[in-house]
Structure 1
Amino acid sequence: MKKTSIKDIAKLSGVSIATVSRVINNNGRFSEETRKKILDVIEETGYQMNFSAKSLRMNKSFSVGILVPDISNYFFSDVVQKIEEELFELGYSTIICNTGRNIEKETAYLNMLRSKLVDGIIVISGVDEFVFHYDDIPYICIDREPLKKEKTIFISSNHYQGAFEATESLINNGCKHPAILMYDRQSSSAKERFKGYKDALKKNNISYNESSHLLLSGLEENFTENLQAFLERTDQVDSFFAVNDTLAMKLFSSLKELGEKIPEDFKIIGFDDSPLAHYSSPTLSSVKQNTDKIAQLTVKNLIDFISSGKIINYQTILVPVELVVRNSSLNN
C-alpha cells in the first residue's frame, strides 16, 4: 500500500501543502473549519508524520520532560496527567521522571533528559530550590522555587491563602486551639502553608507555641503513639489543619483508634481535595487546588518559552485555591 504523503493530504483536503503543514504544526493562520477538514482526512488515510525528519528539520524533539517527586501523590499525579494531555494536543510527547525526592536520582534524570534533547523541562515541587546548570533547555517550576529566578517562571497554588482560610475556618467554627500537622521535611509549598496557618492564629489573637501547635510526621509506624503523647502534652488542642489529605486521613485513623470522634472531639481540614475527601467518614473538609489552571499556565508558558528561546520577564504566578467545607470541620 502506498504511503500517504503530505501532498496527498493537501489534495484530498482541497488546500495547499503549506496549509496542511500549518495545521499539523499548529503554527500560523487557518480557520477551525479548515483544521477539522484536514484532521478528518489525516484520520481517514492513517497518515503518520515522520517525526525524526521533522525533528531534524526544525531542530526540535517535540518532547518535554517532567520531574515529579512522588507520582503516587494525588496532586502531583493529577497535575502531571493534565499537563500531559495539554502537551499531547500540541503534538508533544512527555517523559515522566519520578525522582522519589532523591537529589542523585533527580540529577541523573536531568542529565538523561538533556541527552535525549528534550525541548523543555517541567519541575514539580521539591524540598530545595531548583538548581539547573544548563542554559540551553527551557524549564518551568511548579511549587518549587528556582534558584535562578531570572531564568524561568514559577507557577504555584496560593498555599498561603489556602492554609490561612482553612485555619480561620476552624477558628470561626469555635476551635480555640487548632494545631498543624505536617511532614518533617519542608518544601516551599509547605513553608507557605505553615506561614498561612501561623498568620491566621495571629489575626485571631492565638499565640503560636511550637510544642503545643506543631505535630510533625515522618514515615514512622507509631504515629498513633506520637499523636497520643502530643494530645496528652497539649490537652487544649481541639482541631487540626493537615497540610495534605494523606496526613488528614492518617489523623482520622489514629484519632478513631484513640476513641476520639470527628468532628465532635476534633475538627480536621486537609489540603488537595483528593478523592479521599469525598469518601471518608465523615467527609473531609479540604483546600482544592486548580490543577486545570496550573496545567494550562505551565504548558502555555513553556511552549512560548520554547518558541521564543527566552523568558521576557521572570514571573511568580499564584493560582487561587478554594476551601471546600465538609462534615469533618462542621459543628453538629
Structure 2
Amino acid sequence: MNKKYSIKDIAKLSGVSVATVSRVINDNGRFSEETRKKVQKVIRDTDYHTNFSAKNLRMNKSFSVGILVPDISNYFFANVVQKIEKILFKQGYSTIICNTARDEKKELAYLKMLESKGIDGLIVISGAKAFDISKLKTPQKIPFVCIDREPKDKQNTVFISSDHYQGAVEATNSLFEAGCKFPIIASHSRTSSSSSYRLRGFKDALAKNNITYNKSKNHIVLDSDNITKKLNQFLELEPQIDGIFAINDSIAINVLSALLKIGKSVPKDIKIIGFDNDPQDIHSYPTLSSIKQDTDKIAQVTVDNLINLINHTGITGESITIPVSLIQRESSK
C-alpha cells in the first residue's frame, strides 16, 4: 500500500517549515519562487493531497461556491460561468453550478440546497426579478455577488454589470452612422435589468437623433414562434424601417434569417446589429455586427469581490460597471 504523506512529511522532504508548505498550498503569504517550485515538486513526487475534510473543519469553510444561472445553454452565461469556475478552481474553490431555467421555484430549491451544503459564497447571474437572499434560513452567513441582476438589498452585496446602456447607445448610433433613418429595436418578452438598460439606451439614442420613441412603431417583440411571419407583418405596416438593433445575438440571428426569407437584403435594405458577440456571429451570412461584453473582466472582478467578501475584506453596496465594445461586421455596414 502506498504511503500516505502528511503536511509534516512534505515540509521535511522540502526542507522548509510546515507553515511555508501551507502558504505554498494556499498560495497565501510570502515565499520565494524557488521555494514554491521545490515544495510543488515534492507534492507531485509524493502524490500528496490536502485533507480537505480536516482543513474545512479547522477553517470553518467548505471551499465551495454556488452559481445560479438562468440558462446554461446561453453563450454569454455559459462563457462567464466557465471563466468564473476556472478562476475559482485556481484559488482552491470548487463550484456548484445550478441551472434554474428561469423558474422561481427551482431557483429557491437550489438556494436551499446550496445553503444546506454550507457554501462559502454565492454568485447570481441575471434574472427577471431582483434577487432576494432573505428567503434562506441564514442569509447573513452567505456572501453573494450579483451579475446583471439587481439585488433587492444592495447594501449587502456587490452588483456587477456590463455597460448595457452605453452598448445600446453605441449599437443604435452605429446604425444612424451607416445611413439608417428609421431603426427599431427587437427584443423578447422577458424582462431583466440588462434588457431594460439596453432599451433605455436605444430610446436615448433615438432622441439624440431627433426621433421620438413609439412603442408600436419602433419596437417589435419576437419570441420563438412565428418570427418570420411577425417580422413580415411589422415591416408591411412600417415599410420605412431600415435598421434593427436586436437586444441579443440570438434574436439578431433569427431576425437575419427571417429577413432573408422574406426577400430583404442585409445590409442593403435593412441593417442589423446584435448584442453579446456570440461565436456564431462570424459564421452567419452576412456576418453579424454586435456589442462585445468583456467576459474575462466580468469573471475576474466577480471572483475578486466574492473572495474578499468571504474573507471579510470586501466592501458591500458597490455597483461595478464593465465597459463594452462595438464590433462592426457586414450586417450593419
For Structure 1 versus Structure 2, the TM-score category normalised by the shorter chain is over 0.9
Q: CA deviation at 1:193?
A: 0.4
Q: Which amino acid aligns with 2:164?
A: H
Moved runs in structure 1, 4+ residues, more than 4 A? none
Q: 1:328 aligns with which of 315, 321, 331?
A: 331
Match of 1:189 in 2: 194
Q: Which amino acid aligns with 2:327?
A: V
Match of 1:110 in 2: 111
Q: 2:232 aligns with which of 228, 233, 238?
A: 228
Q: Which amino acid aligns with 1:60?
A: K
Q: Which amino acid aligns with 2:189?
A: D
**210-219 or 185-194, which moves further after superposition?**
210-219
Match of 1:158 in 2: 163
3-state SS of the aligned residue for 1:135? helix
Measured in 1, the distance between the counterparts of 2:278 and 2:37 equals 36
3-state SS of the aligned residue for 2:65? strand
Measured in 1, the distance between the counterparts of 2:316 and 2:58 equals 29
Q: 1:301 aligns with which of 291, 302, 305?
A: 305
Q: Which amino acid aligns with 1:255?
A: L
Measured in 1, the distance between the counterparts of 2:34 and 2:235 equals 65
Match of 1:9 in 2: 10
Q: Deviations over 1:291-316 (max 9, x none)?
A: 000000000110010011x7534110
Q: Which amino acid aligns with 1:302?
A: L
Q: Which amino acid aligns with 1:268?
A: I
3-state SS of the aligned residue for 1:318? strand
**208-217 or 106-115, which moves further after superposition?**
208-217
Q: Does 1:315 align with 2:314?
A: no
Q: 1:143 aligns with which of 138, 148, 164?
A: 148
Match of 2:178 in 1: 173
Match of 1:68 in 2: 69
Output the TM-score relative to the length of structure 2.
0.96
Measured in 1, the distance between the counterparts of 2:297 and 2:72 equals 19
Q: Which amino acid aligns with 1:204?
A: N
Residues 52-63 of structure 1 aligned to structure 2 (within 5 Å) = 52-63=53-64
Answer yes or no: is the 8 Å Cα contact 1:67–1:97 preserved in 2.
yes
Measured in 1, the distance between the counterparts of 2:35 and 2:290 equals 45
Measured in 2, the distance between the counterparts of 1:243 and 1:312 equals 32
Q: Does 1:130 align with 2:131?
A: yes
Q: Which amino acid aligns with 2:166?
A: Q
Q: Which amino acid aligns with 2:321?
A: L
Q: CA deviation at 1:95?
A: 0.2
Measured in 1, the distance between the counterparts of 2:289 and 2:117 equals 43
Q: CA deviation at 1:166?
A: 0.4
Q: CA deviation at 1:259?
A: 1.0
Q: CA deviation at 1:188?
A: 0.1
Measured in 2, the distance between the counterparts of 1:89 and 1:32 equals 17
Q: Which amino acid aligns with 2:91?
A: L
**5-14 or 122-131, which moves further after superposition?**
5-14
Residues 269-284 of structure 1 aligned to structure 2 (within 5 Å) = 269-284=273-288
Q: Deviations over 1:79-110 (max 9, x none)?
A: 00000000000000000000000000000000
How many aligned residue pairs are there? Answer: 328
Measured in 2, the distance between the counterparts of 1:313 and 1:63 equals 21
Unpaired runs of 5+ in structure 1? none
